[in-house]
Structures are given as C-alpha cells and as structure tokens.
Chains A and B, each alone.
Chain A
Amino acid sequence: MALDSKIPDGPLAEKWENYKEHAKLVNPANKRKVEVLVVGTGLAGASAAASLAELGYKVKAFCFQDSPRRAHSIAAQGGINAAKNYKNDGDSVFRLFYDTVKGGDFRAREGNVYRLASVSNNIIDQCVAQGVPFAREYGGLLDNRSFGGAQVSRTFYARGQTGQQLLLGAYQALERQVGLGNIEMFNRHEMVDVVVIDGKARGIIARDLVTGKLERYFGHAVILATGGYGNVFYLSTNAMGSNVTAAWKAHKKGAFFGNPCYTQIHPTCIPVSGDYQSKLTLMSESLRNDGRVWVPKTKEDAKAIREGKKRAEDIKDEDRDYYLERKYPSFGNLCPRDIASRAAKEACDDGRGIVPSGFGVFLDFSDAIKRLGIDVVKARYGELFPMYENITSEDPLKTPMKIYPAVHYTMGGLWVDYELMTTVQGLYCLGEANFSDHGANRLGASALMQGLADGYFVVPYTIGNYLSSEIFTKPISLDSPEFVEAEKAADERYKKILSVKGKQSVEDLHRKLGKIMWEYCGMARNAEGLTKARKLLGDLREEFWRDVKVLGELNDFNPDLDKAGRVADFIELGELMVIDALNRNESCGGHFREEYQELGEAKRDDENYCYVAAWEFKGIGADPELHKEELKYENIKLQVRSYK
C-alpha cells in the first residue's frame, strides 16, 4: 500500500485555502443524518465534538474520566503559540511554521505545519470569544511571553494554567451542545475497539467503566483524539489514566503507526525519590532562565552529597561543573530540551548524580538571588517554588533544586494524511494521538496549538470531504457480524485477564515495562540495547498473560481491570517503539542513537532517513511492515542544528 499524504497542490501559503475551496460539502439537511463518534475529550476531542455538533452533525463523545473536563490537556502550564504579531516584533505565519519545522529537527511535513501556523490566529480569536481569561496588559489587550525555540514573543497564556483554561473553553462549548441535544456524552466509557466494515470505520466498542458492560456504537466516521503514550515508560508527566489503548486498537485494525520512537524527554522534572513513585512532576522550563545547572566535578564529592555527608553549599564554585555552560557556551543553560536532558544523563552516568538514586542534578538559583535579590526571584517564579517545596520539603531559595529529565510528550502517533484521516477510511486521528506536526521534537506551547487547530479548524472541514459520500449510508445494524465479533473479542480478552490469577499486580508489570523502555529506549538508544529490549518485551508480554493478578469482577466498576487492559497494550506498543528506534539509524530530535553522533551531538542522516516511518501491524510479536513517506522540503532548506 502506497502512502498518500494528500498534500494539496499549489504554493505553500495557498494549499489550505485551495483545499477548503474545493473540498466537498454536506448540506445542512444531510448533516442531521450523519453520525460522528469522537473518542477523547481533551483539547482536540472536545473542540472537534463541539465544532461538528455546531455544524449539525449528530455526535457521540466518549471519555474514560468522570467528566470531559478532566482530560490531561488540562495540565499544560506554559501557553499556546500563535502568529498574531501583536508585539510588532516581526512574527509571521511563515516564521511560526519555520520555527516549528526546525524545532522538530526537519522531520515534519511542510504542508501540515504551514496550515497549523496559519490557523493559530483563529484559535486565539475563538478562545477569547468563549471567555478564556488570557493574561492582558494594562491597556486591556492580550499579553504575550517568550518561549523556547523562538526569537519572538508569540505565546499567549493564562497564568500557569493555560491548558486548563483552553480546555474549559472547549469543554463548555461541548457541554453547550450536550444541552442542545446535539452531542450525546458518555463519561467513564473507554473505547476498546474500532469496528471496521468493508474497509471503513463504522463504529466502536466501548466499555462502560461503571458497570463493566461492553456497548456497541455506530458512526459514519470515527475520530480518535486520545492523547499520547508517554505512560509506556511507567513514570512520566502524563496523567495516571493516559493510555494508548484506543490508538493501539486502531493500529491493530489497519491504521499505520507513525514514528513511534519519537519521545520528548523534558529536562526539568523533580527526580524519582522511591519505588513507590507513581508519576513525575514537571517544573517549568522557564526556570532555566535564571537557574544554573551543575554537578560536582569529582565523583567523591557527588558520593558525599548522595550519602548526606556534604551539602551543595559545601562544594566550592571551582569544584562545580556547570556542564551546560561548559559544553554549550553560546546557549548555556538555555539549550533545547533534548540536549539538556542528554547532558544530565551523561553527568549522572559518569557517577556524578547528586540524589540517593544517582539520577539527579542541581538547578541552582543562588547566583540569580545574589544578582537580582531574593524578592525578584521569588516574584518571577511565584507558584513554582512553593510547589517544589510542597513535594520535596526543600526550599529552592535556600538550597539548589534537584532535577532530572522525565518523559513528557510523544511526537509519534497514528499516521494521518493532510485530512487527518488514518489509513483506515473514515477513521480520523487528532492532537497528540497523531504523528503529524512536530517532527522529531515538539517546541514548547505548540501542543495546545495543535490540539485546538485539529479540532476547531481542520477536521470540521476535512471530514465533510469524506462524509459527503456517506450521506446515503443508512445506520448499520449493531447486530452485524463485525460489531458482534469485535465485542466478543474484547469480552474474551477481559475474561482472560481475570482468569490468569497469577502473582504479579498490574503495577508490578507496568513498572517492569517502564524500566525496560527507560533503560533501552529512553534518552539514548543503541542497536545492542534495542535488540535486547525487543527480546525482553516479548518475554514480558508472555509474563503478563501468564502471571498477572487482577481481582474483582468483570461486570463491575473495576479500575484495576481497566488498567490491566491498558498495560497489555502498552507492552505491545513498546515492542513497536523499539523496532522503530532500531530502524532509524540516525539521531534526530528526541531520538538519539549513540552510534550516530558527531563530537557528542546528534547526527541526522537526511540522505537515508528523511522519511516518516509508518508501521503496519502484522500480528502480535510478528515483524510489522515498514511504509515510508518521503518528506519533501520545497520551501525551506535542511540544516544542522548547532548550539555551541
């Protein structure tokens, strides 16, 4: 099967306009007859559900949480990018496009990213109209701040709760349509399979998480907006419930998975403090503006700190290694996320980590306090210091913060074309769940932009192009064999999990999975480790089905059983990530292969790997088939990123 990205013809800046002008439409009377299922209610899902319902489609929306407002988009802190150029500092759609492609290490599609940049302004307009309380200047107009990877100020924000406010805007738009009867909302429902009939997505099987019952739903089209898969690493900044299940089931039903190995590791998170730890907390990247990252020069000093015999203050300045400033003098502590993360790992692997586990470095504000005074530093990072102190019981104004990188975002996801349709007809994928816009590395404040672009301004146009030919399709009976079989398979799988009655809890197995992924497919990867990981993951999959222990009943509220199903999917996904990482014999963005570096820096191979790796499922444990979508750069030049 040849991949067709369906990028419209014409000059870059006119592609999306051309597309919209020629896309097929569905007339209002017919829209009422067409049903769309939306799975996931984060920024992408809630905005898509609301916008489609406003257009007149009949929408059913599903989320596994107790309310659509809980989706993990809510946790995004920093902001959302848009090319408004309100600051008069030279921003433009082209610059936002260029920064995003470059930030992604030249592994994203030009056409998609340009569209993203050009609808970014509409998003801000829409959100303001909904009453999202963005930060404002004294004149009453919108304020902006700077973010990594850009030389202009284009980030809109609502204190440190931008994701929350944008999600509540989309959630309210969704609930409005629920109230009007245009959306039927299913809380505490998890999609457990896609139903494909004659090559087209025609519905889903969902599990009512309260009763445990499986239910069948028909739709003329199905939209997945189910988020990223960072929890494959067990510990990440994702919410506890974030999972890959919906995307993975779609993959098994024929949707190709794009670039699964591209993972973003965020450099400034609070280090792991013990085996009981359930998640990692992000400390905003902005702290690196004033904080200096260091470890002791000698292993002896580091050991003394780990054992509590010395404190950070006891190490003299000349005995400290400010390694980012040493290695990257021109960017120093402000080098990009992937580079800062790898440098921390290198220092700790060298035996110079400063927390008991060995995996942590200092982020020190003492120089900033001397320079600016304690009040200025306090005001600048107002909410962050108390948050850190609450978690660690240490005051960063008195002693340096301890930080370590953690899994934060996954750039990979289901492969989609320009219309956001997967390789299954009528099955769409939006937001973090798809692979499309961030290449091999995402810039800060771009995740919110992409989720809302997909939901508010892209899919409402592109889905019409498909549904216009579906208006004569009568609702398909829920008793048709494809629905019955999909439900039966899901039922048997849950029964099988309960019947194993082994010795290990779901948490035990998930933790094991995370250890393998972090060790061999984390910040740095190599062929030997990845080969080993594939074997370990195959063994872990068997171990899961031989030894998992889940109590409770099938037809009951049973969160442990829900999680068991998700972990089983994560294990299978882990195998695909490792295969993808092994295939990509280059280093780019969040994918760093130790064999491919030059003087310690990532070495891209544009000649052989300037493509999207889209994987076709061929059976559990079997080799998936690789399909390549060549990336063509017609408007910008491929360059090497350097921060020295």
Chain B
Amino acid sequence: MKLNLKVWRQKNAATAGKLVDYTVDNLNPDMSFLEMIDVLNDELVKKGEEPVAFDHDCREGICGMCGMYINGRAHGPNHGATTCQLYLRKFKDGDKVYVEPWRSRAFPIIKDLTVDRSAFDHIIAAGGFVSVNTGQSQDANNLPVDKNDAEKAMDAAACIGCGACVAACPNGSAMLFVSAKISQLALLPQGQPERDIRAMRMVEQMDAEGFGNCSNISACEAECPKEIKVSNIARMNRDYFAASVCSETK
C-alpha cells in the first residue's frame, strides 16, 4: 500500500517549521505506524536528506515516549492506544496522512516531531510522591488497603506520561496527567499525610509550567491511550480546593 504523508519538519524551537510532502510506497498493512516512519527515514538517508526526528522507545505502548498528532488526533485514529500501537491496516491505500508533533506552550519543540516534556518531571518533583526514605517502611501487610480503592488507584496509576492529554486539549491543560497522580496517592492510605500539600504544590507547579486550565471538554479522556478518566480531575479539584481553604499547609 501507499501513503501520502504531510510531515511537520522544524529544525529547532527558534526556527519556523512547515509541513513537507512525502510519499511512501510498498508498505505492508501489518506494519506499525512507527515502522512506516522508519521506512521513510531509511529512504531519506539513502537520498541524502536528514531523517525525521521523532521520540520512541519501547514500541509496546508502555514507556510513553512516542507521540504524534496524526490526522488531527493525538496518537492517531485508534482508541486507547499509543502511536507505536497503531498499524497501517487502519488506513486505506493512498490515504493522505498529516503527522504533527504535540502542540502546547509547555512542550517546546526540539526538532521535527520531538518535543520537550520535562515540565511533567517538574510537576512530579514538586509533590508527586510519598515522602518515605529507603528502609523506613514497615512490613507491607501491616497496611491493609481496600481492594476497590487499590483498583481505582491502579486505574489512575496506569498513566504513562505521554502528554496526549495536553496535546488533545484546546487549552493545553495538563490536568488529566496531574490528577492521575494526585488521585492514585489520594486513594491510598500511604498518600494521606501529604494529601493537602501534594495537591497544592503539584497544581502550583502545573500552572508555573504554562499549562492551561480545564474547561470540561474531556478531549483528554477521549485521547488518553490508557483511558484515564476525567473523574480524576474532579477529585483533584476537590482536594486542591479543600487544601487551599481548610488546610494550614501553604
């Protein structure tokens, strides 16, 4: 099969970018989308053109490193799947496919389809943890956890930090990402002592990184490859509100 690609090429954050046309032929429908980009890159190298820079690593949908905006959707047309889990059989022979990077003020472009997502690391560093040093813990079974809470915490913890939620959101909001971590820890007994301060600090850091606000569009949930729910955002808002009004923690 054949695809007509329009790929975003941009040398770096300081230079303007543009969509460039490429046609890739002799493709196999069983190929993954990233393998198709590999084929394109190999052809470009042989022709003496620089390959398209894109992030990817595990290629099995768990590391969160890949992320392309394909035909106007974060991670492309599949539901609940990352870019690396997208296969060409989802497309028709001769389709025109737009391939763009994540677009958000807080995710500056590094090159072509590669963006800088270190803002996510900064948010975790601000409070996305339980403060327990190595060796301080008690026996694991001394702390029973309601199975339903543990399951809900796991649902939230499944976030892979890919940034699709930010890319899909017209406001460039990171609330789904931030609320997933806040929820995971708020649902577990281990997370209670720092629950207030965690919500305050992570939200403040999120704002400082330049992410937008939530206006209940839910595009984030629709495009999340791990199907994280927006109900986490409600929990985060409640925790943040309670902490800012009631808590002595500032």
Contact = CB atoms under 8 A, between A and B. Distances in A.
B58 A140 contact: no
A126 B42 CA distance: 46
B31 interface: yes
B31 A276 contact: yes
A65 B39 CA distance: 22
Contact of B125 (A128, A178, A187): A178
Interface in A27-82: 47, 50-51, 54, 65-70, 72, 74-75
A8 interface: no
Interface string B105-144: 0000011001011101100111111111111111111011
Contact of A187 (B118, B132, B147): B118
Interface in A114-158: 122, 124-131, 133-142, 158
A122 B134 CA distance: 9
B49 interface: yes
A175 interface: yes
B144 A140 contact: yes
A97 to B, nearest CB: 20
B101 interface: no
Given A54-B133, A125-B140, A175-B128, A67 B120 contact: yes
B140 A128 contact: yes
B186 to A, nearest CB: 10
Interface in B135-194: 135-141, 143-147, 150, 153-154, 157-158, 160-161, 184-185, 188, 190-191
A600 to B, nearest CB: 33
Contact of B129 (A130, A551, A557): A130
B147 A137 contact: yes
B50 A551 contact: yes
A552 B50 contact: yes
B138 A126 contact: no
Contact of B58 (A86, A122, A239): A239
Given A65-B57, A68-B121, 9 more contacts: A67-B161, A75-B63, A129-B136, A129-B143, A130-B190, A136-B147, A171-B124, A277-B35, A278-B59
Contacts of A311: none
Interface in A282-306: 282
A83 interface: no
B125 A176 contact: yes
A179 B110 CA distance: 24
Contacts of B87: 390-391, 393
Contacts of A138: 147
A402 interface: no
Interface in A490-542: 503, 505, 507-508
Contacts of A185: 121
A559 B50 CA distance: 11
Contacts of A393: 30, 87, 89
**Size bin of chain B's contact surface:** 35 or more
Given A278-B35, A391-B87, A172 B129 contact: yes
A89 B12 CA distance: 59
Interface in B70-91: 81, 85, 87, 89
Contact of B154 (A47, A50, A141, A159): A159
Contacts of B49: 551
A446 interface: no
Interface of A: 47, 50-51, 54, 65-70, 72, 74-75, 84, 86, 122, 124-131, 133-142, 158-159, 161, 164-165, 168, 171-173, 175-176, 178-179, 185, 187, 210, 239-241, 273-274, 276-279, 281-282, 390-393, 456-457, 460, 503, 505, 507-508, 549-552, 556-560
Contact of A74 (B35, B58, B137): B58
Contact of B144 (A67, A141, A552): A141
Contacts of A551: 45, 48-51
A458 B81 CA distance: 38
A391 B30 CA distance: 7
B126 A179 contact: yes
Given A51-B134, A128-B140, A65 B85 contact: no
Contacts of B137: 122, 125-126, 128-129
A74 B65 CA distance: 11
Contacts of A125: 137-140
A131 B127 CA distance: 13
A558 B157 CA distance: 33
Nearest to A501: B48
B225 interface: no
B55 A66 contact: yes
